[in-house]
Amino acid sequence: MLSEPADRGAVRFGVVGDPVAHSLSPALHRAGYAALGLTASYDAVAVPKGGLAGFVAGLGPEWGGLSVTAPLKREALALADEVTAVATAAGGANTLVRTARGWRADNTDVPGAVAAIRERSSATHRTATVLGGGATAASVGLALADLGVATITLAVRTEANAAEALAAVRAHAAGPQVAVVPLAEAPVADVVVATIPAAAQTPELCVRLGEAAVLFEVTYNDWPTPLVRSAEQAGAVVVSGLDLLVHQAVLQFQQFTGHPGPLATMREAGEQALAAR
């Protein structure tokens, strides 16, 4: 059970990372506050690698929580007084909530990914290929295991860089079979998850993975990516990075404020912010 926030009346929240000016999180959370009539602020604050502990130590009592993005997710784990099981499993936290005991670190990317996939596809999927082996791949890999995917393949450009993601997914209680292969050998699967840049999505890779029933493209920039275009042409279900962002933000919103995040309102705010770029 999560410990309660120190003060439900906290009025300041924000997202920290470097870079962070591009983040859609302020648009999402501010829209939620406006929809529910809450008096609170949410800002993007640039905090460089190695600087999170110092930044958090300087926060006043009006600060109730932080969304945490790259490159600070591991630092969030290290400074927390309480760490949830999912954040420990993922090896990083994207959420810090102030409690009576200090700061609680959580990871809403994992349940957010579960919700994003379920929203778009109710089918049962048994196999998945995840392109990339970084922190996002670990979180989505854990989400896939939560959804009952039995065989997960991490297709990567550098195998050594996937070691932590591989260990995280292998440790899941469901016991999925997990393997690592070169990116060029990515196998066809029920679900394909792309955590790699659009520039790495070659025509050969798009053809190779064209039979997937679901494509989960974790970015919301450079849209549509080559894999998204290929999936749409094939009639596959597409789950977007905005879907993930909104669902994980809704979960953060509830932890920060004690109120369920208004999903439709927050999604619309994200779509509008993207369209304005």
Taking the C-alpha atoms of residue 8 and residue 10, their distance in angstroms, rounded to an integer, is 6
- Name the β-bridge partners of 217: 194, 240
pTM equals: 0.94
Give the chain's mean pLDDT. Answer: 95
Task: Please give the average per-residue pLDDT across 225-233, as a whole number.
Answer: 97
**Residue in 29, 30, 73, 104 annotated catalytic:** 73
Give catalytic status of residue 73 as yes or no. Answer: yes
CA distance 261 to 277: 24
Give residue 221's pLDDT: 86
Q: What is the pLDDT of residue 29?
A: 98
Contact 140, 131 (CB under 8 A): no
The rounded distance, in Å, linking the Cα atoms of 110 and 221 is: 20
C-alpha to C-alpha distance for 11 and 133, rounded to whole angstroms: 37
For residue 191, with 0-12 CB atoms within 10 Å meaning exposed, 13-18 middle and 19 or more buried, which class applies? buried
Cα-trace Rg, the chain: 18
Q: Find the angle CA(22)-CA(28)-CA(30) to the nearest 5 degrees.
A: 105
pLDDT for 134-186, tens place per residue? Answer: 999 999 999 999 999 999 999 999 999 899 999 999 999 999 999 999 999 99
Q: Quick check: helix, strand or coil at residue 147?
A: coil
